[in-house]
Amino acid sequence: MQKIRLEGSKVTLRSRKPDDTPVLYNLIYGTENPEWKKFDAPYFPLKKISYEIFETQWNADFETDQFPGDLLIEANGQTIGIVTFYWEHEASRWLEAGILIYDPSHWSGGYGTEALSLWIECLFQHLNIARVGITTWSGNPRMMRCAEKVGMQLEGRMRKCRYYAGVYYDSIRMGILREEWEAQKAACVTASNDPSTKTSGVHAE
């Protein structure tokens, strides 16, 4: 896979290496009934697989030169999660992104927002696409807020189509267009260069 490294103020996104595989396996399967799974599509049960199978699956793309379908999220040198993308329909360039931070101690600290922002920029830079989307559910308001913070709009709400633990939830589609992303970046640059915003204590984030 292509080697990519993206630096932010809180997190670094980078391509996986073979020696990351046991770390990732432990993050996913190291805890029984992990907290992260309660918010990451819990209506699809987490089925533990052997390390050997996991290693074969995750290491299959190391020998290719393709753009990576995922990058690790690091904070202070520690792997805390992963960003991903998949093709909903590659022929029509419909791409969906994903983000997962496994350690609850890194939730609600701005790590996910920065990671998703870096990932969206990377996807627009490397792939010929007009939109980046995410799919989540109404039982994960933290993910919805994260998407909103990076400029994504609510594009679809399929009501009461996810039944989990005795409750009906909505399926949520959110997304941002390339031109919206570029306009947002330009607005941030303009705001950061405006002396009036600096003196008033308002800063672009």
pLDDT in tens, 23-34: 999 999 999 999
Q: Give me the sign of the Cα torsion angle 163, 35, 58, 50.
A: negative
Q: Which residue has the higher pLDDT, 77 or 190?
A: 77
**Average pLDDT of the chain, as a whole number:** 92
CATH superfamily for domain 5-194: Gcn5-related N-acetyltransferase (GNAT) (3.40.630.30)
Please report, rounded to a whole number, the percentage of residues in the chain having pLDDT higher than 90. Answer: 84
pLDDT at 196: 59
Sequence spans of domains, the chain = 5-194
Maximal CA-CA distance, the chain: 58
pLDDT at 203: 29
Cα separation, 96 vs 87, in Å, equals 6
pLDDT at 195: 64
pLDDT over threshold 60, residue 199: no
Q: Which of 108-112, 135-139, 188-192 has the highest mean pLDDT?
A: 135-139
Mean pLDDT over 112-121 rounds to: 98
Cα separation, 177 vs 129, in Å, equals 9
pLDDT at 14: 97
Pick from 66, 82, 68: nearest CA to 20: 82
Q: Residue 197: enclosing H or E segment and its boundaries?
A: helix 195-199
Token output for 111: 């790590």
Mean pLDDT over 181-195 rounds to: 84
pLDDT over threshold 60, residue 133: yes
pLDDT at 119: 98
pLDDT at 65: 76
Q: Let me know the angle formed at the C-alpha of 119 by 101 and 103, rounded to the nearest 5 degrees.
A: 10
pLDDT over threshold 70, residue 41: yes
